[in-house]
Amino acid sequence: MTEPSRAVFLSYASQDARAAQRICDALRAAGVEVWLDTSELRGGDAWDRQIRERIRDCRLFIAVISAHTEARDEGYFRREWKLAVDRTRDMSESRAFIVPVVIDQTPEPGAAVPDRFHEVQWTRLRAGRAGAEFVAHIMKLLPPEPASTAPRPAAHPAAAAPVAPPRGEVRLPKLATLAIAVLAAGLLAWALVAKPWRSTRTAAQQAMSNPATSVASPAGAVEQSIAVLPFINMSADKAQDYFADGLAEELLDLLARTPGLQVIARTSSFAFKGKSDDIPTIAAKLKVANILEGSVRKSGNRLRVTAQLIRADTNDHVWSDTFERELSDVFKVQDEIAGDVMAALKIHLLPAQQQSLRREPRTTNLQAYDLYLQGKENYNRGDSVGYQRAVTALRGATRLDPQYAAAYGTLALAEYWAEDGEPTSGYPGYERALAAAEKAVALAPQEAAGYTARGFLRTLVRFDFTGGQADLARAVALNPGDADAWHRSAVLLGVFGGLPAAIASEQRAVALDPLSAEICMRLGFFYAAAGRTSEARPWYEKALAIAPESIRARFNLGELELHENRPEAALTAYRQTGDEGFSLSGQAKAEYSLGHAEASRRLLEELIAKYSSTSPWQVATVYAWRGEQDKTFEWLERCYAQRDPGMTWLKIDRDLSGLRNDARYKDLLRRMHLPE
C-alpha cells in the first residue's frame, strides 16, 4: 500500500455514490490511493473511529458537493467535512488539503458548506466524470512518491471482486491514456470483500504515474478543435443508420455552439463514413486535434450510446463512456457527452455561455424526433428524391409537434430545393419554404438555424437582400461556429458586390467545413469574380477532387478557362459538365470564342428549345458573351420575372461586364435593390 501521506479521502452523500465512484476510478487509474467508503450500512464506534483515522492520515480531502448535499442539513458527510476543517487548524496556510468538487449546477455562493470551503478553489466535474486536467491537478497537490526498492505485492485475485455498476447503468472498461495525465480507466472498481475500504494499485497503474510528454497537434490544427465522425449503427435493424447519424449530427451542432471550440461541419466529418481512413489521417485532412467517434444501439425503448474522444497526434483515448438509457433520455445523453468532451478538452464556460449551448426548445414527441432525423438524412442526400422525402418526413414531424422549431428550419430548405427547377406556376414551394422559415424564427428566436434559412430564402425568393443580410448577420452572431451561416453570409456579400468581405467570410466557412465541395467551389467563384484567377483555380480543383460530379465546379472551371482566353480548354470542361443546360450554355460561349459562330448559334437554339422555362439565366449569359445586348436584356427581364437565382450574381458575373454602363442594367440593379 502507498504511504498514508499520499492517500486521498473522498467524502460524499450516499445519493452521489455513482459520481464519487467515477472520481475514485479516475484517480486510481493514475496510481493515486483513494479511500472511498463503499459500505451500505454506516455506523458503529469501530466504523466511526476508522473514518476519523482516515481523515487524520489522508493527504487530501475531496468533498463532493451537489444538490443532494444542499438538500440535507444533516448527514455523516457533514461530520466528515467538520473533521477535515478541524484538521486544517493545525496546518500551514500554504498547504492544500480540502478540495471541493461540485458535480452538478450547485452555485458556490450561498452553498451550505463550511466557511473554510469558500477559501479554496472549487472544481466542477459534471456527474463526477474526472478528466485529465483534474487528475493532473490532484497529482500535483500530492507529495512525490518515496522511492522503494521492494516490489509491491500483487493483490490476490480472490481478495477482491468487481463492484457492480448502479442499476440501470452499464459501463464498459475505459482505455487509460498516457498524455499529460491519465483519464478514467475502466469502471472495474475493486472493493475489499471483508472491509468497506480498499486501495489498489496495479503494475499498469504504476506505469501510468509517469505520463508521457504530449506531442504537437497535426499541422495547421487548432488545439481546441474537434471533428465528430458519424456514429456506427450497432442496432439489429440496419435501417436505423439515420438515427445513429442524426444523433452524431445533433451532438456536432451542440458542440459547435461552444465558444472557443472549433468544430468541423457535418459535410466534412461525414465524408469519412464507410471509409477505412485511420484517425491520424482523418485529423490531418480536417486539420483538427481531436476526433469524437461512437456507436449507437437502439432496441425498442432502450438506447445504448458509446462515445470516445481521441487525441489525433498520439491516437490516445482521452475520454470514453457508455450510456444505457431509455430512448426518452436521448437529449440528456447528448448533453452529457458534450459536457464530458468540453471537460476533457479543458474548456471552461461561464454560466451564461453554458445556458446558451441549448436554447432551442426540444421536442418531447419521440415520433416527431424520429421523423426529423429521417428528414435530415434525406435532405443531406442532396438530390431531388431526397428533398421530396425530406419534405414528407419533416411535415410529419411538424404535424406531430407544431412547436418543433428545428424541424421547421430544415423543412424550409427542403421545400425550396424540392421546388427548385420545377416549372410549376408561381413556384408554391418557395412560399411554403418562406413560411416554414418564418415559423422556425418565431418559435426559436435565439437559434441561428431559422435565421440562416430565412436569410437564404429572402435573398433567392424575394430578392430581399436587406432582410437577408440582417438575418444572416444575426445567424453568425448567434452561432459563429456554424459553417453554413458563414457560407450563406458570404454569398449575400457577393451578391452586393463586396468581394473582399465575401472571400473573408467564405474562408471562415471553409475552415469549419474543409471538405465541402460547395464551399470550396464558391470560394473559387469569388476569387475569379475579383479577378484573382490564380487563387480561384486551386479551389475549383479541390471541389472537383472532393466531388468529381460537381456540376457547378466543373462549369466554373470552364468559365475560368474561357475568361483566361483558353476556349479549347473551356470547351472540354463544359462538355464534361453533368448538366445539359449548363453544358449547352458553356459550349455556345466557347464555340463563339473559337470563331465558330454557326456552331454557337445552334447550341444556343438547342438551349432555348429545351431549357428556356427553367434556365433563362444561362440563355442571357450566352447572348451577353456574343455581344447581343438587346437579346441579353430581354432574357434578363425573363430572369427577373421568374426570380431566376442567377440574377443574384447580376453585379459580379463577368459575362455581363460589357453591360455595366447601360441604363437598362442600372435599372435592373435599382429594381433588385442592389447598389450600382
Q: What angle do CA 624, 661, 643 make, to 5 degrees?
A: 55
Q: How far apart are CA 412 and CA 391, in angstroms?
A: 9
Q: Which amino acid is at 395?
A: R
Q: How far apart are CA 158 and CA 466, in angstroms?
A: 75
In SS3 terms, 19-48 reads as HHHHHHHHHHHCCCCEEECCCCCCCCHHHH
- Going by C-alpha positions, the residue among 159, 156, 153, 152 that lies closest to residue 191 is 159
- Asked if the model's pLDDT at residue 321 lies above 50, the reply is yes
Query: How close are the terminal C-alpha atoms of the chain, in Å?
Result: 81
- Going by C-alpha positions, the residue among 169, 263, 660, 204 that lies closest to residue 484 is 263
Per the CB < 8 A criterion, the answer to whether 469 and 498 are in contact is no
Residues of each domain in the chain carrying CATH 3.40.50.10610 = 222-347
Q: How far apart are CA 543 and CA 563, in angstroms?
A: 19
Per the CB < 8 A criterion, the answer to whether 131 and 174 are in contact is no
Q: How far apart are CA 120 and CA 113, in angstroms?
A: 12
Look at residue 224 in the predicted model and tell me its pLDDT: 83
- Asked if the model's pLDDT at residue 302 lies above 90, the reply is no
Look at residue 166 in the predicted model and tell me its pLDDT: 32
pLDDT, greater one: 275 or 560: 560
- Asked if the model's pLDDT at residue 441 lies above 60, the reply is yes
CATH number of 222-347: 3.40.50.10610
Q: What angle do CA 546, 252, 387 make, to 5 degrees?
A: 60
- Going by C-alpha positions, the residue among 130, 196, 127 that lies closest to residue 160 is 196
Look at residue 360 in the predicted model and tell me its pLDDT: 57
Look at residue 161 in the predicted model and tell me its pLDDT: 30
- Going by C-alpha positions, the residue among 483, 521, 541 that lies closest to residue 269 is 483
Residues of each domain in the chain carrying CATH 3.40.50.10140 = 4-208
Mean of pLDDT values over 111-121: 86
- Which residues, listed in sequence order, are joined to residue 168 by a DSSP beta bridge? none
The alpha carbons of the chain give a radius of gyration, in whole angstroms, of: 31
Fold category of 4-208 in CATH: Rossmann fold (3.40.50)
- Going by C-alpha positions, the residue among 456, 443, 451, 654 that lies closest to residue 560 is 654
Residues 572-609: tens digit of each pLDDT: 999 999 889 999 999 999 999 999 999 999 999 999 99
- Asked if the model's pLDDT at residue 207 lies above 70, the reply is no
Look at residue 109 in the predicted model and tell me its pLDDT: 77
- Asked if the model's pLDDT at residue 227 lies above 60, the reply is yes
Mean of pLDDT values over 11-31: 87
Q: What are phi and psi of 414, to 5 degrees?
A: -65, -40
pLDDT, greater one: 218 or 17: 17
The DSSP result for 152-207, as a single string, is PPPPPGGGEEEPPPPTT---PPPPP--BSS-----S--EEESSSS------HHHHH
Element at 293 (helix H, strand E):
strand 288-299
Which stretch of 168-172, 176-180, 409-413, 642-646 has the lowest confidence by average pLDDT? Answer: 176-180
Look at residue 119 in the predicted model and tell me its pLDDT: 80
Look at residue 159 in the predicted model and tell me its pLDDT: 28
pLDDT, greater one: 603 or 142: 603
Which stretch of 81-95, 192-206, 263-277, 524-538 has the lowest confidence by average pLDDT? Answer: 192-206
Mean of pLDDT values over 34-56: 73
Tell me the three state secondary structure of residue 435.
Answer: helix
Residues 146-164: tens digit of each pLDDT: 554 333 333 332 223 333 3
**Band of the pLDDT at 219, cuts 50, 70, 90?**
low
Look at residue 152 in the predicted model and tell me its pLDDT: 37
The number of beta carbons lying within 10 Å of the beta carbon of residue 630 is: 8
Per the CB < 8 A criterion, the answer to whether 302 and 327 are in contact is yes
Which cell numbers in the block locate residue 385? 428524391
Please, which residues have CB within 8 angstroms of residue 328's CB and are 6 or more apart in sequence?
Answer: 301, 366
Look at residue 474 in the predicted model and tell me its pLDDT: 92
Q: How far apart are CA 632 and CA 626, in angstroms?
A: 9
Q: How far apart are CA 243 and CA 297, in angstroms?
A: 10
Look at residue 31 in the predicted model and tell me its pLDDT: 79
The mean of the pLDDT values for the chain is 81
**Band of the pLDDT at 215, cuts 50, 70, 90?**
very low
CA dist 377 → 248, 382, 386, 487 (Å): 12, 10, 8, 21
Look at residue 316 in the predicted model and tell me its pLDDT: 78
Residues 65-91: tens digit of each pLDDT: 999 999 888 888 999 999 999 999 888
Residues 324-347: tens digit of each pLDDT: 888 888 878 888 887 788 777 766
pLDDT, greater one: 410 or 175: 410
The number of beta carbons lying within 10 Å of the beta carbon of residue 156 is: 7
Q: How far apart are CA 568 and CA 565, in angstroms?
A: 9
- Asked if the model's pLDDT at residue 212 lies above 70, the reply is no
- Asked if the model's pLDDT at residue 526 lies above 50, the reply is yes
Look at residue 468 in the predicted model and tell me its pLDDT: 92
Q: Which amino acid is at 205?
A: Q
Residues 341-397: tens digit of each pLDDT: 877 776 654 445 555 555 556 788 989 988 998 998 888 877 778 889 999 999 999
CA atoms within 13 A on the CB side of 371: 22
CA dist 148 → 3, 151, 538 (Å): 11, 8, 62
